Structure 1
Amino acid sequence: MDARGYAWWYIDATSGDGRYGLTIIAFVGSVFSPYYKITGRGDPENHCAINVALNGPRSNAWAMTERGRGKVSRGADHFAVGPSSVHWDGDCLTIDVDEISAPLPYRVKGRVRVYPELIGTTAFQLDPAGRHRWHPVAPRARVEVEMAHPGVSWSGDGYVDSNFGEEPLEAGFADWHWSRAHLNRDVAVLYEGVRRDGTPFDLALRFDRQGRWHDMPQPPSAPLPRTGWLVERLTRADKGFAPKVAGTWIDAPFYARSAIDTRLWGEDARAIHESLSLNRFRSPIVQSMLPYRMPRSIF
């Protein structure tokens, strides 16, 4: 991977009863790493992490510990960072998590299995020069969660995508808003934001059961309440429908991930939604806070 670049693989899932949520993100050249930034982003392989966020009754957990290249192994079908790993066997993506949270130290340990139900074969450029690309890998998947710490097991629907870039994320964008929703048969993905040069971008895609994508008319814009950190959240929904935040999974100074109840193209759905402010991320105050939640370990 080129200097200043990044790659990440994102998995989210919600339990069948709607009570639990999970997000796992595997980073190479961790885009939010204060250590990668302060070193000039010259060696992406030296700044890797597997981020885990679990939400639900008596089971909230968070871990994101960065490790250097000496504790990283990756190839076409595997990626290991310290004691945690991701492995693809041709049918199932198995994620073994063994992390310690920060700033309050507690164990986050378990296994997650992801079984894609459809595969997306197209990657999309998020800027005209193709410096930032997004690939919806498995817009619909079946996910099985077995956590020893915290002790919880459940299964439900999930989603997998990936992002790749050749420059820092904040060099390409000022902000973005993204969401995915599993409809009755298809999957809806909305992606929009403002590039660093002030130009907007937006995608409204519908994936069918064969993994084929279809451009859709953008539904009307629909604001959501700001987060506790006053991060703006925006989405889109059918005309006349007001989406509601069902729960905020992550509320950070520059980022929010939420579950929202919405209606898209005539179907009611529970969507996973994120809002990212890269202007906030660039703030020296925010940068000074990051090591407390994203430590770097030599082990």
Structure 2
Amino acid sequence: MRRMDLAIPGTPKGTAWWDELPALPNSPGAYRWFYADVTAGEYSAVFIFMVGSLFSPRYSVGARRGALPLEHCAVNFALYHRSTRRRWVLSEYPRAAVQVQQEGRVLHIGRSVLEYGLDGTVRMEVDERCAPFGGEVRARLVLEPQAAAAEEVQLVPELPHFWRVLAPRAKARLEVFSEGVASEGIGYHDSNHGAELLGARLPGWHWARVHGPEETVVDYHLPGGVAPLRVTAGVLGTKAERRPLLAEARDTRLTGWGLRVPAQLYAGNQAVGEPRLLESSPFYARVEARRDGLDVMGEVADFRRFHSPLIRWMAHFRTRVERPA
């Protein structure tokens, strides 16, 4: 695979983003997560490695008392077949470790690993149990980026929350050994990080990425009249920009939990279709739509809701917690 020459701002010239893991957070309330999704035939899957887990009720409470993000790391994996969930993993750990190897840089959380290879490949391997008390899950995703990373962007001016699309389009191979799944398709990879708890000042967002035959477009919508962000990746390169607000808001609908989600998912101004709910909770929804060669995956999050005592209590039932040894 051709090695793309795109440096991280502030690193020596010629240093590509995969030559080192982005810095991990080390202050109370801070977080960083590494997200990837894949569409492979009738399957889709999501992998997330989190340091300072946004899904952790323990971190939600503990961060206000000085708890550190490395004390609340997590691995999330979900497998879907024809938009129906087949497996769900959310495991929380009290530590993570970074290892420098000859082949690349590796983040370890429990038995699961995220590796940035020196040839540009991204490998995520999950070796887990379904939450909270389910069976074993072993899965692997390998991404070979086909478009350059975007520049890092600040989600909201003056707030310490940042987003960077690292691999907007990638050749992907998904293997779920415990399910007998092996399929190739198209993948996506990004990273978010911030210096304070989500929901403290940034209440939430919704975003969606659209894979088309030749181009990927990612739209990130933010509350409070903040202009949305767009990343476009295709034959003309990768571009991140802030877009003007729509003159008219697009329609939404309420989930059974009362969370407002888009009524339609779009590729530009073209409606792809009504989103199918892959995940639905009081504070978070994951959605998907496919039509005529277009594939959309997106999320809606209301982090203010998550910090309520009732919803934090409910979150315990979707999480497996590994206690300190």
Instruction: Give TM-score scaled by structure 2 length.
Output: 0.80
The count of residues paired between Structure 1 and Structure 2 equals 288
1:286 is displaced (CA, Å) by: 0.6
| Aligned residues of 1:24 and 1:51 also touching (Cα < 8 A) | yes
- 1: CA distance between counterparts of 2:178 and 2:293? 34
Range with bigger deviation, 229-238 or 102-111: 229-238
- 1: CA distance between counterparts of 2:237 and 2:30? 28
CA RMSD between the two structures: 2.5
For structure 2, the 5+ residue unaligned runs are 1-25
1:275 is displaced (CA, Å) by: 0.8
Per-residue CA distance 1:20-47 (angstroms, 9 max, x = gap): 1100011011122111122225311111
| Residue 73 of structure 1 pairs with residue 97 of structure 2 | yes
Q: 1:29 to 1:210 in 2, by over 3 A?
A: farther
Paired residue for 1:204?
Answer: 230
- 2: CA distance between counterparts of 1:132 and 1:271? 24
Matching residue's letter, 2:314:
M
1:146 is displaced (CA, Å) by: 1.3
| Aligned residues of 2:265 and 2:271 also touching (Cα < 8 A) | no
Of 39, 60, 76 in structure 2, the residue corresponding to residue 51 of structure 1 is 76
- 2: CA distance between counterparts of 1:211 and 1:43? 38
Listed as ranges, the matches of 1:188-267 within 5 Å are 188-194=217-223, 198-209=224-235, 211-213=237-239, 215=241, 221-234=249-262, 237=266, 242-261=271-290
1:115 is displaced (CA, Å) by: 1.2
Q: 1:190 to 1:218 in 2, by over 3 A?
A: farther
Q: 1:125 to 1:136 in 2, by over 3 A?
A: same
- 2: CA distance between counterparts of 1:59 and 1:191? 24
Paired residue for 1:149?
Answer: 178
1:171 is displaced (CA, Å) by: 1.2
SS at match of 1:2: coil
Matching residue's letter, 1:232:
R
| Aligned residues of 1:59 and 1:152 also touching (Cα < 8 A) | no
1:217 is displaced (CA, Å) by: 5.7
| Residue 287 of structure 1 pairs with residue 312 of structure 2 | yes
- 2: CA distance between counterparts of 1:166 and 1:289? 26
Q: 1:240 to 1:185 in 2, by over 3 A?
A: closer
| Aligned residues of 1:222 and 1:236 also touching (Cα < 8 A) | no
Paired residue for 1:7?
Answer: 32
Flag the structure with higher strand content: 1
How many percent identity over aligned positions?
Answer: 29
SS at match of 1:65: strand
| Aligned residues of 2:228 and 2:244 also touching (Cα < 8 A) | no
| Aligned residues of 1:118 and 1:210 also touching (Cα < 8 A) | no
SS at match of 1:13: strand
SS at match of 2:177: strand
Q: 1:147 to 1:239 in 2, by over 3 A?
A: closer
Per-residue CA distance 1:112-142 (angstroms, 9 max, x = gap): 2111111214000012125000001110011
SS at match of 1:22: strand
For structure 1, the 5+ residue unaligned runs are none
Paired residue for 2:88?
Answer: 62
| Aligned residues of 1:224 and 1:243 also touching (Cα < 8 A) | no
| Residue 269 of structure 1 pairs with residue 297 of structure 2 | no
Per-residue CA distance 1:260-287 (angstroms, 9 max, x = gap): 247xxxx972211111112321222111
Matching residue's letter, 1:230:
G
| Aligned residues of 2:265 and 2:274 also touching (Cα < 8 A) | no
- 1: CA distance between counterparts of 2:150 and 2:279? 29
SS at match of 2:299: strand
Instruction: Give TM-score scaled by structure 1 length.
Output: 0.87
Matching residue's letter, 2:68:
D
- 1: CA distance between counterparts of 2:97 and 2:187? 26
Q: 1:240 to 1:25 in 2, by over 3 A?
A: closer
